[in-house]
Each structure stands twice: as structure tokens, then as C-alpha cells.
Amino acid sequence: MSTSPSTPDTATRPRRLPSLTGWLAGLALLLAVLGSAGCAALDEQQRRWIFQPSDRTWSGGLAAAQAMDEVWIDFRSALTGEPVKLHGLWAAHPNPDAPVLLYLHGARWDVRGSANRMRRMQELGFSVLGIDYRGFGKSTGTLPDEDLAYEDARAAWSWLASRHPARTRYIFGHSLGGAIAVHLASEVSDAQGLMVEGSFTSIADVVKTYRWGWLPISPLITQRFEAGERIAKVKAPVLVVHGSEDRTISATLGRALYERAPQPKRFVLVDGGSHHNTNGLAQEHYRQALRDLFNGQPPPPASRAQGATPAQHASTGHSP
């Protein structure tokens, strides 16, 4: 399932893997053969379709990741009891006091596939850490699941806190990573802000927006990612950004996620933004939100990221 491909905007993107529509068709088929397949097989297939774990990326991601530092996060999983080694990329801002951003990517590509978005956030004034969940890139493991991804995000957050205790820290999630970011922000008390782009309220809600959404398959979804329920527990300011032309995750789901968030919050609908190029189009809106929404503490001034396009004709809904 391509719930959250992390491919940055580019004129020539590589061929996409099967979309959410394909995942839904497959899930409907599994519904028909559930009696013989069994619940364990259904869960495993869902994990494969939702995450599409890979150690590959695309050429633009490779180029953007150049000169980023590799980092390793070691911990013992409380869920499996096994040692874990997460691989990440660190894009340091020139200002040693710059705030720190944890970037949580979506499905399919490894963390390098999100390097363009990471670079843009660095240009906005952050030092950025992006990680690969277990099963992605150079991280240990073979097949992630919802709870393991949550644990990986929490481990990365703790790693940042231990190494940069005096710096303010933010959480950013794109698409599937947005649901992981919401979960993390609902559990920690030391996040300065939460930013979610191109994300959703739950996997079940995403399924309902597609052609076969009327099928009664919601009870069979094991990887639920109930961000809409968890966002009410977030104590930090929330920014939700979505592209009006997002064909992977409907903008109605981004709006619904925003509506369930507590104050203070802001919603930005980027006119013409797709699942891939919204981040580039919305950079001026990110800059304004950093000034106005997150305690009036703008990051250090920086020039616009290379290749980024100023946001145009974006509609915003701001709750003061």
C-alpha cells in the first residue's frame, strides 16, 4: 500500500508501487479467503502493504542526502526483548543553538527518500534527524508493525533529548509518518510543536475514501494508526498541512485530523499541492506558523531551500 510514499516533489518520479486502491482490493480478497488464510497471515500482509519496507531510495533522495551525517540509535526493545539498531540521517543547522526536529517518514523508501523535505526544514532553521524504522534502510529488522514504529520514534526522541537537552525539539511526520508523529506527541511532554503533512485520522478512514470503501473490512484492519483519537492528547501546538490535489490521502482527512486537535492549532490547505510537492509549496506557511503558532519563537533566519517553490493561493484555517 502506498499510504505514505516519501518521494519528494520532482518532475520525473520513479514508477510508484501499488497504490492504496490496490491495497484495498487485496484486502477485500483476503476478506473472502479469511477462513483459510487466518488472522496471522492477514496481519502480516497488511504490514507489508502499509509499510512497503525497503532499503532503496530514488536518485533525487540520494543527491539530497549527500553530506548528511549518519547516526545510529541503539536500544533494547521492550516489545520484543531484542537489541535494536536504528539508522538515521542528521542534517545539522549552522547555528549550534537551532531547534531540533525529528522527521518521521512514510512508506516505501528509506529515510534518504525524504532528504529533500529534511533539507527544506533545515533551511527553515532546524537541525533535523530523520530515522528509518525497523525493516527500512540500514536499521535492523525485516518487517515493521504499528507498535514497533511507535517504539522506534520514541527511541529517536529520547536520543535527541539526551544529546541536545538544552534545545527545543519539534516533531514532524509525513503521511504514514504523520500518524506515528501524532502518537509520539501524545505521549511526550517536552515537544515544542507537532507538524503533520499529508496525513490522516486512521487507516480505516483512508480505506473509506476509496472506491471499495463501502466494504465491511474495518474490523479486519490490524494496523489501524488511530491518529484522530490520539491527537486530542497532544499538549503542544499543532500544525496540519495538506495539498488540495492530494490523490493518495484525501485533504478531507487532513482537515478532520485538524478538527480533532486541541488548541492552539492551524490548518493549511495548499492549493495545487499533491502528496509529493506540498512541502515545497508550503514553505512560507511553515515559516509563518513557526513565528505565530509555536510560542512566537521563530527559528534562525535562513534562505529558502534550493528548489523549493513559494506557497501560493493556500487557504488557512487558524485557531488562535
Give tens-digit pLDDT for 112-150. Answer: 999 999 999 999 999 999 999 999 999 999 899 999 999
Dist CA 239 CA 265 (whole Å): 6
- 68 domain residue, yes or no: yes
- 186 domain residue, yes or no: yes
Print the domain residue range for 165: 20-319
User: In the structure, what pLDDT confidence band is assigned to residue 204 with cuts at 50, 70 and 90?
Assistant: very high
- % of the chain surpassing 90 pLDDT: 68
Whether residue 37 is predicted with pLDDT greater than 80 in this model: the reply is: no
- 11 domain residue, yes or no: no
What is the domain-level CATH number for residue 59?
3.40.50.1820
- 3 domain residue, yes or no: no
255 burial level (CB within 10 Å; 0-12, 13-18, 19+): middle
Contacts of residue 292, defined as CB under 8 A and 6 or more positions apart, other chains included, come to 266, 318
pLDDT score, position 59: 63
As a whole number, the mean pLDDT across the chain is: 84
Residue 177, SS3 per DSSP: helix
- 280 domain residue, yes or no: yes
Q: Which residue type sits at 173?
A: G
- 30 domain residue, yes or no: yes
User: In the structure, what pLDDT confidence band is assigned to residue 296 with cuts at 50, 70 and 90?
Assistant: low
pLDDT score, position 23: 54
Dist CA 29 CA 23 (whole Å): 10
Q: What is the pLDDT of residues 84-119, one digit of tens each?
A: 999 999 999 999 999 999 999 999 889 999 999 999
For the entire predicted model, the pTM comes to 0.83
pLDDT score, position 4: 40
Mean pLDDT of the 52-61 span: 76
Dist CA 276 CA 280 (whole Å): 9
- 4 domain residue, yes or no: no
Number of domains, the chain: 1
Dist CA 245 CA 40 (whole Å): 36
